[in-house]
Amino acid sequence: MDKDPVQTSVTANAGTPSPQTAWRYGASLAVMAAAAGLGSFAALQQGVSIAAPTATATAVAPAAAAAPAALSVRGLPDFADLVQAAGPAVVYIETSVKAPSRSARRGQQAAPFGGGNDPMMDEFFRRFFGDAFPAMPRGAQPEADTAPNAGSGRMLPQGSGSGFILSTDGVVMTNAHVVDGADEVTVKLTDKRQFKAKVLGKDERTDIAVLKIDAQGLPALRTGDVNKLRVGEWVIAIGAPFGLENTVTAGIVSAKQRDTGQFVRFIQTDVAVNPGNSGGPLINMRGEVVGVNSQILSGSGGYMGVSLSIPIDEAMKVAEQLRATGSVQRGFLGVNIGDVDDAAAEALKLPKGEGAAITRVLPKSPADKAGLQAGDIVLKFNGEKIEGSRDLQRRASTTKPGEKSDLTILRSGKTLGITITTGSEKDIERLSKADERSKTTELMRLGLKLSALDAGQLRELSVPGGVKVDAATGAAAAAGLQAGDILLELANTPVQSLAQVQALAATLPAKSMVSVLYRRGNWTMRSGMRVGG
């Protein structure tokens, strides 16, 4: 074995011991690497170029053979300067709650896990086990606590986490779950100063919160461009896992736009993140924040190699609204949507997994006013491709109420452009209640009680439109209609919705005879109906 493995060029030959032999006899990593045809471990650390092994079993390659290709290996990065520059802008956050009165505590039992008074364990079980274990109410004390001043306004530890300074005047970003339910939030800087923080706002859907401390001239982190972040790129996390402040861990970006079924698509890394890291920054090698550390995927509750961070561009959109108004207003289209399955994609000649299918349009919603219809496939939103229903939901929600957006849709095999003015999520409840009332209608003069069919039911029945007959009396019963029939046409007009049928029925002259087309099982029948007075 060479004394200076840094300069080793390895050529495989019959006299080289196998990796197993090298390990068995306790040889150095350099020898093991040479045996595997990888060059020395020290060479990898130094970032030198290593000659690739030849396939021949002889000690010397033939003179006529082509020179072996060089494998260029970059050295491992040194994070010291990066940490020195970025570290002072990372903060430690502790939260507290007011102690309840003794009467409020009466009858409460200590939970076997968590407990509310151990910040690290409390966050551990709350964040990673959710509701799997019972938890003592926040701030509650065991019944045995009979201190004379119990409940007299004192504060009890609730949890802890991390955060980072966004601006020199004391604006701090963290996770919403770090400060959720807290009566008091304390921010600790690396220079040992402590400040009581005001929560400017928090958004549970994206898990982002913005705090403000009374300080000036603070070190602040720059935000980076997530679009330029590459899979395989080195990143670091700085935070306080288990309360160990200013802990640095490093790894690479494992994936971008990782969809876990939640509101945001995460940056996935293999950076070690544990309870207490929540809210801390994910930093690239240029010292820019590219994500907010939020979750891990784990079968044990602890770090197992998969960490998830909220992309900083998404976090900043939320932070801007929280700083301005204390809450987040999201756009609302007013549609029920689903994914385009493989069979539908093939029939529509679409790439698999592309687009969001509109299954229902809420009456009087922005989508209804823009002319969207059940059965439309949304392909693009403001020029960006829609990959599925969650993608459309996220993009629509990032628009502000009153903002115009351009949609590209597929309808009946044709591509169309539609402009929609986004509504407010505050309208959802009002329109939904009105829609519930509109899902059924009773046409007394026809003797019909009808209910709406969604896109899935229409597709299952293989009909382009129609409404369900819930009850038939009077004129409808005389015409032969029964409960369970599907009304397809009224007065030679194809049925599209309950509102359309109701409007059409109002125009029919009294005592007139009109044609009705309806479906019963696999049979389609036509009959005449005498309109009542």
Given a contact cutoff of 8 angstroms between Cβ atoms, the answer to whether 252 and 269 are in contact is: yes
Cα(67)–Cα(456) distance, rounded to whole angstroms?
64
pLDDT at 11: 32
pLDDT value, residue 343: 79
As given in the structure block, the two tokens for residue 519 are 């479906």
Catalytic residue among 207, 339, 376, 391: 207
Residues 374, 478: Cα–Cα separation, whole Å: 33
Position 443 scores a pLDDT of: 80
- Phi first, then psi, for residue 441 (nearest 5°) are -150, 150
d(CA 458, CA 460): 5
Q: At which residue do the structure tokens 């044709």 appear? A: 414
177 as an active site residue: the answer is yes
Q: How far is it, in rounded angstroms, from Cα 126 to Cα 114? A: 8
CB-count exposure of residue 438 (10 Å: 0-12, 13-18, 19+): middle
Is 278 a catalytic site residue?
yes
CB atoms within 10 A of CB 91: 32
Using CA atoms, how far apart are residues 227 and 125, in angstroms rounded to an integer? Answer: 34
Dist CA 5 CA 459 (whole Å): 70
Give the integer Cα–Cα distance in Å for 533 and 527. Answer: 19
Catalytic residue among 96, 160, 278, 389: 278
Q: What is the pLDDT of residue 140?
A: 44
Give the residues of the chain that fall short of pLDDT 70.
Answer: 1-74, 101-153, 428-442, 533
Give me the torsion for CA of 299, 273, 41, 65, rounded to 10°: 70
From 40, 177, 203, 405, active-site residue: 177
Q: For residue 117, count other CB atoms closer than 10 A to its CB.
A: 17
Q: How many helices (H) and strands (E) does the chain have?
A: 15, 30
